[in-house]
Amino acid sequence: MSTHTTASVSTHILDTSVGRPAAGVAVRLAARAGRAADWRELGGSATDEDGRCKDLPALPEGTTHVRLDFAVEAYFERSEKKSDEKQAEAQQDAPANRDSGAPQVFFPEVAITFAVSPGEHHHVPLLLNPFGYSVYRGS
C-alpha cells in the first residue's frame, strides 16, 4: 500500500531530427486541482545532457491536471548555430543553402496537459523535431 497521496511527474526530450537527447531545454510545470480550477505555476527546470529533467517541483496535494511547457525555440536556435558552424568548417567558402526568412522551428513552444492520479508517477517523454512533436505516457 502506497503512503503517497500526491502524483509525481518526470519528463525527457529526444530530438528525433538528430537521434539524440535535447539538452538545455527550459521546462515549466503548472498544476490544478480540478477541471475548473486555475492553473498554479510551480516552477521549472531544464533538461540535462541526457535530455532529462530530474528536479521538477513536487505536485501539491489534490492535483488532478498537470501542464508541462517546453521552450524549444532557443534549443533549436542553438542547434542550428552549431550545425551552421560545422557546415561552414566543412565547406569553408560555400554559401549555406537556406530559404531566407524561413523559420528555424515551426513550434516555438510545446504545452502538454494531462490528467494525473494520486499516488502514481507519470513520465511524459517529448519526441521533438523542428516541425513536429509527439508525446506519450512512459514508464
**What CATH number does the domain containing 67 carry?**
2.60.40.180
Q: Does 46 map to a domain?
A: yes
Q: What is the mean pLDDT of each run of 10 residues along the chain (139 residues)?
A: 72 96 98 96 97 94 97 91 53 49 80 95 96 95
Q: Identify the pLDDT of residue 16.
A: 96
Is residue 124 domain-resident? yes
Q: What pLDDT, on a 0 to 100 scale, did the predictor assign at position 82?
A: 64
Domain span including residue 61: 8-95+102-133
Q: What is the pLDDT of residue 103?
A: 60
Q: How far apart are the C-alpha atoms of 99 and 47, rounded to whole Å?
A: 30
Is residue 2 assigned to a domain?
A: no
Q: How far are the Cα atoms of 1, 3, 92 from residue 124, in angstroms, in the given order?
A: 24, 23, 42
Q: What is the pTM of this model?
A: 0.81
